[in-house]
Amino acid sequence: MQVSQSTGGTRERIRAVALELFTEQGYEKTSLREIAERLGVTKAALYYHFKSKEEIVNSYVEDRLYRMDELIDWAHGQPATRATRRALVSQYADTMFAAGQPPVMRFFEQNQTVLKSLTAGQQMRERMYRLADAICLGDDSPRAQIRAALLLFAVHSSWFAVRNPDISDDERKAIALEVADELLAGFDD
């Protein structure tokens, strides 16, 4: 039992340090050697947990994909109403602003070009389309599709569009949900 806790702790430390370096320097400019050095471990020790930088990124994306799949499944079991759409966007925002997520969101924002080329990034894009489709349930018009994409973008853009360094994550989330709610008003029930 102690070994798995230690292994899990090491894995989380690797993820945290890699994320920090990817955000500071960019994904492409960060090497596994630098991650190992910052952790004070050998590259071999790092390889035990992750064979590549892509595996590290995939570990973050897998967490998000799982949460997004849960939301999509939930939405498909609900009536296609404004209240359901509001709850879906609110739950999505909760996952984006959950403990530990702000650095992940900043990494995603700063490394979009790299993410597009990784399998994980392609999976994220596919889930974003499915999430937007879940928001549109009952209205498959082009106007609804654009509105749904903008709702999701309102949540995401709060990480880079709001450049006030003194704003808290809670305030950032509240603003994103306020804008999303304005867009939700355009859906007809």
Res. 120: pLDDT tops 50: yes
- Whose tokens are 């296609």? That residue is 80
Structure tokens at 65: 């994909």
- Report the pLDDT value the prediction gives residue 8, as an integer from 0 to 100: 61
Proportion of the chain above pLDDT 90, given as a percent:
46
Q: Show the 3-state SS of the chain.
A: CHHHHHHHHHHHHHHHHHHHHHHHHCCCCCCHHHHHHHHCCCHHHHHHHCCCHHHHHHHHHHHHHHHHHHHHHHHHCCCCCHHHHHHHHHHHHHHHCCCCHHHHHHHHHHCHHHHHHCHHHHHHHHHHHHHHHHHHCCCCCHHHHHHHHHHHHHHHHCCCCCCCCCCCHHHHHHHHHHHHHHHHCCCCC
Cβ partners under 8 Å of residue 22, min gap 6? 30, 53, 57, 107, 110, 111
- What's the confidence (pLDDT) of residue 1? 32
Instruction: Check whether 114 has a pLDDT greater than 90.
Output: no
Question: Any idea which of 17-26, 54-63, 96-105, 168-177 has the lowest mean pLDDT?
Answer: 96-105
- All structural domains of the chain: 1-51 (1.10.10.60), 57-184 (1.10.357)
Q: Per-residue pLDDT for 109 more than 80?
A: no
What is the pTM (predicted TM-score) of this model? 0.78
Confidence of residue 189 (pLDDT cuts 50, 70, 90): low
Q: Give the whole-angstrom CA distance, residue 79 versus residue 137.
A: 8
Task: Say whether pLDDT at 56 is over 60.
Answer: yes
Least confident of 27-36, 83-92, 155-164: 155-164
